[in-house]
Amino acid sequence: MREQWRDGNHFALLPTAECFVPALLEAIDHAHTSILIELYLVEDGEMGERFFAALIRAVARGVDVRLLIDACGSWSLSDESKQRLVRAGVSLREFNVLSLRHVGRFISRDHRKLVVIDGHTAFTGGFGVNDQFLSSWFEVAVRITGPCVEDWIQLFNRVWRSRRTRDFATGARRRSSAAATSETAHGEGSMVGRVVWGQGYRYQAIRRSLQHQVGSARERIWICTPYFVPTRTLRRQLRRAARRGVDVRLLLAARDHDHPSVRYAGQRFFARLLRSGVRIFEFQPRFIHAKFSLCDGWATIGSCNFDHWSLQWNLEANQEIDDPDFATELGGLFEHCFDQCHEISAAHWASRSRGQRLREWGYGVMDALITRLR
């Protein structure tokens, strides 16, 4: 499967859980034939109960429900909840279950976030089924209709039928199975987009696409990511863009970070970026888990954090959009977030404490060592 731009789509930006959670649940409740779901993080809790109940109601209506979860990301999901779904008729599979025969391969995770309803409407973003998305984490999603939905279905089918997935009910490794079918309606809108995906270091279309957009941007490069540990090439491109007059801004997580070690590892790059003119904003109200970027009129929203872990090991997928109205809307969301940030200045960063510098160095060494593990 190769990425290609498709016309005739419609993309709806769904900022914050107040927008995308009701939209997801409503879509599930109105499904008639099929529901395909691929998620990294699924846990018990309030959101889990609402999500599971909606899936069970769908099965009762005769809908074919397929749920693919990552065995590591959804580690804390109870067997009771899994059995409840299977007994109700949900087809549940787990990606890359730990095996003593393939311990080294366990580091590769399915980090994608995807819901497809009736082969017609898809949702993607950085979301999962976890109570933190309801209130304490800031997240963004996009609703998709049109030809791009078919590409999302193909991505789902590739993993669903792969040898790295197992049925929860039997524990059997699945070598092949019936593919999910598509009822995608063409001509849903007039917006152009394409699905890009990554499969660790084996296939990195997401990395290549971002680097191309950053390298060719003339006006702005705005990137939002909660886990900022960029590759050397991306760091160099960001500095060069800022020096040639492009408005380069990074929207990063600050408070209540779920992986503070990753935050420190990325901060070791701040000094050179700031000296080159890159502006760095840390979001203050809550942990920002969203992954979205804007380069001139090109936008991307999806699962990829643009860090070493996502690019070298995980299965990732993003929706790219080339539409001026959508870019304007996403730019407005960026501006709203920037207004709620603390901007780090080069002078302030140069005066940071020795303790901060030591944490950057220590976690940076750990990140460099892990990055070399392939």
Residues annotated as catalytic are: 111, 113, 118, 289, 291, 296
Bridge partners for 145 per DSSP:
10, 121
Among 341, 259, 368, 256, which Cα is nearest to 305's? Answer: 259
Residue 138 CB-density burial (10 A; 0-12 exposed, 13-18 middle, 19+ buried): buried
**Assigned token pair, 35:** 């529901």
> Please, which residues have CB within 8 angstroms of residue 23's CB and are 6 or more apart in sequence?
14, 123, 141, 143
Bridge partners for 143 per DSSP:
12, 123
- Give the whole-angstrom CA distance, residue 160 versus residue 79: 20
Bridge partners for 42 per DSSP:
129
DSSP for 292-360?
A: EEEETTEEEEES---SHHHHHT-EEEEEEEE-HHHHHHHHHHHHHHHTTEEEEPHHHHHT--HHHHHHH
**Assigned token pair, 339:** 């207004």
**Assigned token pair, 105:** 């391969």
Element (H, E) at 150: helix 148-160
Among 304, 13, 315, 8, which Cα is nearest to 156's? Answer: 315
Element (H, E) at 282: strand 279-283
> Please, which residues have CB within 8 angstroms of residue 242's CB and are 6 or more apart in sequence?
248, 273, 276, 277, 278
* Cβ atoms of 202 and 24 closer than 8 Å: no
Q: What are phi and psi of 189, to 5 degrees?
A: -165, -160
